[in-house]
């Protein structure tokens, strides 16, 4: 972990990953400031949880990464930045591409400029996405009853590595890909200690997911409330899933080595040992709830990948990291949180934030 004494800035700190990371950092004795505009459903609830748990130890700036003045002010005394703030939905990016660009691309430039001009020269870890590799339409797949599997044995054994060519698809893929490349170039052109995580599916408590992002938590919460689930495509899509605690472990390891790892991008996910298809998840949720689920199939969406699994060997070699939480354990912990969420909502006479009926 960083030996410097300054503050850690977590942008999007009231979001799912941000709240979990902030909680971990505060429990580790770090000084933490979060910057969040609280636009994401569930963020206010996460912020309340953090404030109740940590009180004055947490510094909160309610503001937007699109505002350079706000970002520059938030960077005061900062030694490291976890940059999570983003527009996260492919569907939303298609509805409003300029907004998507402003948040993801321009917002990241604002962060990078504040880092570059700061006297402390903070390091930065940026969360990108596997969508920078496009929909992987050239990958030959074998279809079984429940999932797609790559025909190529190496891809099947290890997943997609960082040598895969970039192929931005959808406005979201373009905006995150643009930010991804700017972060890496600021490391090369300006010497900013910066690392990029190209993430697969991250899941866990405090995730108020939707159909487009955070789908595993979205499925669990809606199914627990006996609400209909929508699957886009045939449900054989495969993803590697990573529990949020394992992600944060990887982030902290990278931060502690960031000077030597600067300028690198890592694919981050559960890897081949932690893959699920949508059909398999639906079946497992139904088994846990001991009842069939109400599921409707819709057409494939723009940029949907039938198969994506991260090859995490580069990250493992660089840091000694490996995931520890298996899929069964992670789902159980997600169910426990969703159950607590439901009981709290009943007591309050409300529905959980971020979960539309």
Nearest-angstrom CA–CA distance, 171 and 178? 10
Pairing of strands 78-83, 7-11: parallel
Question: Which of helix, strand or coil describes residue 204?
Answer: coil
Residue-level pLDDT at 353: 35
The 10s digit of each residue's pLDDT in 212-270 is 778 899 999 999 889 999 999 999 999 999 999 999 999 999 999 999 999 999 999 99
Residue 127: strand pairing partners = 197
Residue-level pLDDT at 5: 67
Are 115 and 121 a contacting pair, CB within 8 Å?
yes
Phi, psi at 198, each rounded to 5°: -95, 100
In the predicted model, what is the mean pLDDT of residues 73-87?
97
> pLDDT band at 174, cuts 50/70/90?
very high
In the predicted model, what is the mean pLDDT of residues 290-310?
91
Whether the pLDDT of residue 96 is over 50: the answer is yes
> pLDDT band at 344, cuts 50/70/90?
low
Cα 185–189–190 angle (5° rounding)? 110
In sequence order, which residues have a C-beta less than 8 Å from that of residue 127 and are 6 or more positions away? 17, 82, 83, 84, 86, 197, 199
In the predicted model, what is the mean pLDDT of residues 112-136?
96
Picking from 102, 139, 118, 126, the residue whose alpha carbon sits closest to that of residue 255 is 126
Nearest-angstrom CA–CA distance, 30 and 255? 13
DSSP state of 105: I
**What class has domain 7-348?**
alpha beta
Integer CA distances (angstroms), 205 to 121, 324, 341, in order: 33, 16, 10
- By annotation, the residues acting in catalysis are 172
- Specify the DSSP element, H or E, that contains 110: helix 107-117
Residue-level pLDDT at 349: 44
Nearest-angstrom CA–CA distance, 82 and 108? 11
Nearest-angstrom CA–CA distance, 323 and 312? 10
In the predicted model, what is the mean pLDDT of residues 74-85?
98
Integer CA distances (angstroms), 99 to 171, 198, 229, in order: 10, 22, 28
Residue-level pLDDT at 339: 85
Picking from 197, 239, 246, the residue whose alpha carbon sits closest to that of residue 214 is 239
Cα 230–248–58 angle (5° rounding)? 100
Residue-level pLDDT at 4: 58
Integer CA distances (angstroms), 264 to 77, 81, 314, 335, in order: 25, 16, 10, 35
In the predicted model, what is the mean pLDDT of residues 316-337?
95
Nearest-angstrom CA–CA distance, 20 and 25? 9
Q: Angle formed by the axes of helices 244-256 and 16-27, to 10°?
A: 60
In sequence order, which residues have a C-beta less than 8 Å from that of residue 189 and are 6 or more positions away? none
> pLDDT band at 340, cuts 50/70/90?
confident
Residue-level pLDDT at 303: 76
Q: How many helices and strands (H and E) does the chain possess? A: 14, 15
42, HSE (Cβ side, Cα atoms, 13 Å): 23
The burial class, CB within 10 Å (0-12 / 13-18 / 19+), for 55 is exposed
Quick one: how far is CA 351 from the chain centroid? 24
Is the pTM higher than 0.85? The answer reads yes
In the predicted model, what is the mean pLDDT of residues 137-162?
97
Residue 214 vs residue 22, higher pLDDT: 22
Average pLDDT, whole number, for the chain? 92
In the predicted model, what is the mean pLDDT of residues 289-308?
90
Question: Which of helix, strand or coil describes residue 261?
Answer: helix
Integer CA distances (angstroms), 81 to 34, 195, 245, 248, 296, in order: 10, 11, 18, 14, 41
Question: Which of helix, strand or coil describes residue 52?
Answer: helix
Residue-level pLDDT at 282: 94
Q: What is the largest CA-CA distance in the chain?
A: 58
> pLDDT band at 348, cuts 50/70/90?
very low
The 10s digit of each residue's pLDDT in 257-277 is 999 999 999 999 999 999 999
What percent of the chain shows pLDDT beyond 90?
Answer: 85
Domain boundaries, the chain: 7-348
């Amino acid at each position: 972990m960083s030996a410097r004494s300054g503050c850690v800035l977590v942008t999007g700190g009231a979001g799912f990953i941000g709240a979990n990371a902030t909680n971990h950092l505060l429990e580790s004795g770090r000084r933490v400031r979060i910057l969040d505009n609280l636009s994401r459903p569930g963020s206010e609830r996460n912020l309340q949880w953090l404030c109740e748990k940590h009180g004055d130890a947490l510094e909160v700036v309610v503001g937007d990464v699109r505002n350079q003045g706000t970002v520059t002010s938030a960077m005061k005394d900062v030694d490291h930045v976890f940059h999570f703030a983003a527009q996260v939905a492919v569907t939303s990016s298609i509805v409003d591409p300029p907004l998507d660009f402003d948040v993801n691309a321009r917002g990241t430039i604002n962060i990078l400029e504040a880092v570059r001009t700061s006297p402390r020269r903070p390091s930065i870890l940026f969360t990108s996405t596997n969508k920078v590799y496009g929909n992987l339409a050239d990958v030959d797949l074998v279809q079984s009853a429940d999932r797609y599997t790559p025909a190529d044995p190496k891809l099947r054994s290890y997943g997609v590595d960082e040598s895969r060519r970039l192929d931005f698809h959808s406005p979201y893929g373009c905006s995150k890909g643009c930010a991804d490349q700017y972060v890496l170039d600021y490391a090369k052109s300006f010497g900013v200690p910066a690392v990029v995580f190209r993430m697969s599916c991250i899941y866990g408590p405090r995730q108020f997911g939707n159909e487009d992002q955070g789908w595993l938590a979205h499925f669990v919460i809606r199914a627990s409330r006996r609400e209909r689930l929508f699957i886009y495509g045939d449900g054989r899509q495969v993803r590697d899933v990573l529990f949020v605690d394992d992600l944060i472990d990887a982030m902290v390891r990278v931060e502690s080595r960031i000077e030597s790892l600067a300028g690198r991008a890592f694919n981050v996910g559960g890897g081949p040992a932690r893959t699920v298809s949508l059909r398999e998840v639906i079946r497992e949720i139904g088994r846990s709830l001991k009842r069939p689920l109400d599921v409707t199939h819709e057409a494939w969406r723009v940029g949907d990948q039938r198969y994506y699994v991260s090859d995490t060997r580069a990250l493992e070699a660089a840091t000694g990291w490996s995931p520890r939480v298996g899929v069964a354990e992670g789902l159980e912990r997600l169910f426990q949180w969703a159950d607590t969420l439901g009981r709290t909502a009943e007591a309050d006479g409300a529905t959980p934030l971020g979960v539309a009926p």
